[in-house]
Amino acid sequence: MTGSSLFFSNEASFSDKSSLLADLKDRIAGIESAGSKVVTDRPTGVVPLGVADLDDALPGGGLARGRLHEVTSTGGRSKRTRLEGDVAALGFAAALVGRAAGDEGAVLWCTNQKSLYHAGGLHGPGLSVFGVDARRLVLIDGADDTQVLWAMEEGLRSGALDAVAGEVGNLTLAASRRLQLAAEAGGGLGLLVRVSTKKTAKTVTAASTRWEVAVAAGESVESLEGLGAARWDVRLARCRGGSERRWQVEWNHETHCFAVVAPMAGQPAVPGAAPAAGEDTGQVVTLPRRALG
């Protein structure tokens, strides 16, 4: 996808093909959501993240409502260091939920008792930093993943909530598909907050986007005092109808907004793939044969 703008250098064919592409995308979206016959009265739209850099990477200019999204942490793969990394993912998820709910929306947050034991409970004042108002928050304390998934599904299906977040360990594709269908039926934003395990990275889910979040190691300028804003290394690892990207993002707890610190340009889209040659020098690149035909 990174080469697409270079690829259609001819103006006429570009507009032609882009409309064709849009048409195709619409049709695919129609096919994909065919599972749910329920037509919701809730306007399905997007939740803009408030920063052009991030929103541009997402189809429709934001996180789609009525879809399932996924936030995982890349904090630590070992059992001991997993915890701290997960908090960063949790913070990012809370920020997304806060933006989705806005000032009026209700939120359901499902926690798993097991994770509670290890990492402590969600702290109300800490949540409000990310724009989640505790007064419109319903907390579920599930005994295991099954209960959490069930509660999320019920919450998404009910249509009474703007955002449903759940801390889930492992889940099957089928389970995530169920959540996706429930989200389509209810129109709320579904968010899987996944505890990072070795399996997490490999499993495929039906989520529309997948974000991998880690704390940004102290690269920022020494601020004058204190710690400064929370900073994360955010990678849009999978995005249906969008491209894979990576940013360093800060959260402003006063304006409840993201801010992109440094777009991580030149990062290979897929680890191991060759970086696009000549991107830095601005040279015209010869593309594979297919492009010319």
Partner 1 sequence: MTAMNAAAAQEGLRQGMGLADARAVLPHLLVEQSAIKADEKALSALAHWCGRYTPWTTVDAHGANPLTGGRDSILMDVTGCAHLFGGEERLLSDLMARLAEFGIEARAALADTPGAAWAVARFSDMDGAGHSIVSPGGSRDVLGPLPVTALRFAPETLENFDRLGLRQVKDLLALPRAPLARRFGPPVARRIDQALGFEDEPISPVMPVVPYRVRLAFLEPVGRVDDIAYALTTLLEQLCPMLNEDQRGVRRLTLDLFRVDGEVESVTVGTSRPVRTTEHLARLFAGHLEQIDAGFGIDAAVLSASLTAPLSEVQVELPGEAGGGRTQGNADLSLLVDQLGNRLGMDKVCRLEARESFVPERAVVTVPLAAGGAAAGDPDLGEQSEPLWPAHLKRPLRLLSAPEPVQVVAEVPDGPPVLFRWRRDTHRVARVDGPERIGPEWWRGAGPGSQQARDYYRVEDQEGRRFWLFREGLYATADVHASSVQDEPQPRWYLHGMFA
Which residues sit at the interface with partner 1, rule CB under 8 A?
75, 80-81, 83-85, 87-88, 90-92, 94, 104, 106, 108, 116-117, 119-130, 133-143, 147, 150-151, 154-155, 158-161, 215-218, 222, 225-227, 230-232, 251, 253-254
Of 9 and 120, nearer to partner 1 (C-beta) is 120
Of 137 and 236, nearer to partner 1 (C-beta) is 137
Q: Measuring CA to CA, which residue among 175, 182, 189, 120 is closest to residue 147?
A: 175
Q: Provide the minimum distance between the beta carbon of 172 and partner 1 in the complex, in angstroms, as a whole number.
A: 21
Of 14 and 150, nearer to partner 1 (C-beta) is 150
Q: Provide the minimum distance between the beta carbon of 218 and partner 1 in the complex, in angstroms, as a whole number.
A: 5
Q: Provide the minimum distance between the beta carbon of 97 and partner 1 in the complex, in angstroms, as a whole number.
A: 12
In Å, how far are 131, 167, 191 from 69, measured between CA atoms? 19, 12, 5
Of 226 and 282, nearer to partner 1 (C-beta) is 226
- Compute the radius of gyration of the chain from its Cα atoms: 20
Q: Which helix (H) or strand (E) holds 192?
A: strand 189-194
Of 51 and 229, nearer to partner 1 (C-beta) is 229
Distance CA(238)–CA(212), nearest Å, equals 9
Q: Provide the minimum distance between the beta carbon of 272 and partner 1 in the complex, in angstroms, as a whole number.
A: 24
Q: Provide the minimum distance between the beta carbon of 223 and partner 1 in the complex, in angstroms, as a whole number.
A: 8
Residues 6+ apart with CB under 8 A from 188: 42, 65, 66, 100, 155, 156, 159, 161, 162, 163, 164
Of 155 and 190, nearer to partner 1 (C-beta) is 155
229: number of CA atoms within 13 Å, CB side? Answer: 18
* 13, two tokens: 């064919």
Of 64 and 164, nearer to partner 1 (C-beta) is 164
Q: Provide the minimum distance between the beta carbon of 22 and partner 1 in the complex, in angstroms, as a whole number.
A: 33
> What's the DSSP call for residue 3?
T
| Residue 61 falls in which region: left (phi positive, over 0), alpha (psi -120 to 50) or beta | left
289 CB burial (10 A radius; 0-12, 13-18, 19+): exposed
Coil/strand/helix, residue 168: strand
Q: Provide the minimum distance between the beta carbon of 229 and partner 1 in the complex, in angstroms, as a whole number.
A: 11
